[in-house]
A and B are shown apart, each in its own frame.
Chain A
Amino acid sequence: DTGVSQDPRHKITKRGQNVTFRCDPISEHNRLYWYRQTLGQGPEFLTYFQNEAQLEKSRLLSDRFSAERPKGSFSTLEIQRTEQGDSAMYLCASSGLRLSHNNEQFFGPGTRLTVL
């Protein structure tokens, strides 16, 4: 399968713990995006990478959140000192380089985080 994959699919943690999610994009895609989605809402942008460079971060991404894409392939999103308000679905997407791709983004299945 050559789609976007995310791991884990579900994560339950206690408030104050750190969690890390992984995203593997489509192999030929150079752009990788993280979004957060809460129940009944559309995805909200968090950050994106072009290759290994983090080009934009949302104000939603507090100091407790950090994302990396060290080799321009997979990415990790870490949340430190989790809070109940961090409970959400975390979606990863990737897109290709060529302008003909029109920024069509391919999404992974998401990681559902529950903070108790």
Chain B
Amino acid sequence: SQQGEEDPQALSIQEGENATMNCSYKTSINNLQWYRQNSGRGLVHLILIRSNEREKHSGRLRVTLDTSKKSSSLLITASRAADTASYFCATDPDYNQGGKLIFGQGTELSVKP
């Protein structure tokens, strides 16, 4: 079953605006990861944040993690039409030893030129 819930399910913005997606999860984690999926394609890893980290940056991406609230957010700054895709958070549960990731249902982002 899915552990994560993502909010919003769909987001439509204009090019140049920022996009924020939120993820909530249920169990304790080793880390939380964000992936992007273009329509009909495989997933591409974007960024990973460990359970002892609170914020991480990678290019135009900023991820925050609040383990007390079991939530994370992904911010994409200065969005581009090429950012149009579905974005998934995935948790690596702390009972794992390199096993499954548990994915949310995703946020579908549309960036209009």
Contacts and interface: CB of A to CB of B under 8 A. Distances in A.
B42 A105 contact: no
A91 B88 CA distance: 14
Contacts of A16: none
Contact of A42 (B41, B44, B104): B104
A95 to B, nearest CB: 7
B85 interface: no
A45 B102 contact: yes
Interface residues of A, number: 30
B45 A103 contact: no
Contacts of B96: 103
Interface string A1-29: 00010000000000000000000000000
B100 interface: yes
A89 B42 CA distance: 9
A26 to B, nearest CB: 12
Given A43-B103, A102-B31, A50 B42 contact: no
B2 A104 contact: no
A91 B44 CA distance: 12
B101 A45 contact: yes
B106 A56 contact: no
Interface in B40-84: 40-45, 48, 50
A103 B106 CA distance: 20
B103 A42 contact: yes
A42 B101 CA distance: 11
Contact of B98 (A50, A107, A108): A50
B98 to A, nearest CB: 5
Contacts of B31: 102-103
B2 A42 contact: yes
Given A41-B2, A48-B99, 6 more contacts: A35-B103, A45-B100, A48-B100, A103-B31, A103-B98, A104-B48
18 contacts: A31-B98, A43-B43, A43-B101, A44-B2, A45-B100, A48-B100, A50-B98, A55-B99, A58-B100, A91-B42, A97-B98, A102-B50, A103-B30, A103-B92, A105-B45, A106-B45, A107-B45, A110-B40
